[in-house]
Each structure stands twice: as C-alpha cells, then as structure tokens.
Amino acid sequence: MNRFNYAPWAALLLATLLSTVFIANDVLAFDLKADEIRGKSSKTPVTVLQNRAFLKTYRPEAGLVLGTVIDEAYLDTAIVGARAGMFINEWLGFEAQMLQSTVSDSTDRKALNKIRYEVGDGDNSADAVPGEVEEKTFVTVDPEVNAIHSITDLNAIAAPFYGKLNFINKFIIYTDIYATAGMSVIETDQGTKNAFTFGFGERFYVGKSWSFRVDFRDRMFSENRAGIERNKNSMTVDLGASYFFK
C-alpha cells in the first residue's frame, strides 16, 4: 500500500489557521480593558481569570482531523477524517468523528522481510524418491500484524480547564484543556472491533469561531495474536482545525 502523503492535509490546516489570524487580527483581542475590570482603582487585583467574550454552548462544531497511530512497530498508519460535535454548556460536550487510514510497512518490517531462511536441508529423506534431492525452500521473517483501516468514535468531552495566552502583546489566544471518553468501532484485518476510548487534548481558539486542536486517544479492544485472544491498546495523536457555527 502507498505511504500516506501528509503534505496536502498539513498545508490545508496551516493555511486555514494563518488566514484566520491575518484576516481577523483586528478582532482577536477580546478582553475587556483593565479599567473595565478594576474600575477606577488600578490597584484592585483581579482574583478570577476573565472568561472569554464569546461562548461555545449550543454552537455546532465541524472540523478536519489529521494524525497517526503511534504504537505500531511494524506498520506506519496515517489517519485522516472529519468530526462534528456540540457543547451543551461551556465545559461539557459530545462529538463524533470518522477516520480513514492509509497503512504501509514500517522500516522494521521491510528489514525483516529481507531476511530469508532456508526450509529443508537438501538431503535425501526416507520419503524421498531415490535419486532425487529435496528442493530447498526459502521463507521470510514476517511479523504478525492487524492493520487498522477505519475508526468511528462517539465521545463525551469535559473541558474544565480554561486559560489564555498573550501573543507578543498583540492579541489573546484562548485555550481549553479537556478529557474525552467514549466508544469506538474499528475496522481491522481481523474484522470489526468494538473499543473503549479515552484521551485528552488542548484547543487553541483563533477568533470567535475557529480553533486548532491537538488530541491524544487510546482505544482498547481485543485481537487474536498467535491464536490467543489478547488486549490491544491502539494510541493515536492527531491535529485538527474546527469551526463553531453561530
């Protein structure tokens, strides 16, 4: 199978984020002025971090995902897909995402497949026809793999941690740190697998509608290895760009 080409998808995500920054630069600084927080006294401390001047509650979200499976020794698995979700308040929401994969052999597997060993010694055996020599057979050392071809997730999101970054004193980037948990349906070489998934991530808001996300997910299911049913953890890291509709 062909190796996944990250370049077009990475360029799309980067172009989306940069265009939003430059086009919407004049509306990115959403914080209130200091005197609007403290009043006339500049010495009064602000004891609670000011919330965003925009909300995400009941605003549908749609986005693109680009990532990779990080715990496969013998396969390089790239994932790409789309997600949709909605928050029911400022810290709790739900989302679904559908991911397709492109799978290729890793460097380790290619190296192993170059190793060939001989089956049969070429000597006459008791079953051999007199005068004939047993033919030599060569096999490769090919590891057992169970490639992932698609993933469908349904997750709850809890985002209780909120913060903001001042970028070179030009504008403010809001950020959420969140946890996810839910169920997955995974299509593999061994058929359809139902999995429990959990993870965490961080979102960076660019303007009132766009955001950039980094996610880690772990999906746990069972698979057959050497004739024995074993537990499997499939871990992914992905980047995403999302848009909140008004």
Top-confidence range, 3-7, 8-12, 26-30, 84-88 = 84-88
- 12: number of CA atoms within 13 Å, CB side? 14
- Give the residue with greater pLDDT, 128 vs 81: 81
Residue that is written with structure tokens 């169920």 in the block: 183
d(CA 58, CA 93): 9
As a whole number, mean pLDDT of residues 52-72 equals 91
Give 1 or 150, the one with higher predicted confidence. Answer: 150
- CATH code reported for the domain at 7-105+149-244: 2.40.160.20
Tens digits of residue pLDDT in 117-132 = 776 655 555 555 555 6
> Average pLDDT for residues 149-172, to the nearest whole number?
89
CB within 8 Å of 113: residues ≥ 6 apart: 105, 140, 141, 142
Considering only residues 108 and 203, tell me which one the structure prediction assigns the higher pLDDT: 203
Domain spans in the chain, listed from the N-terminal domain onward: 7-105+149-244
| C-alpha span between 135 and 124 (Å, rounded) | 10
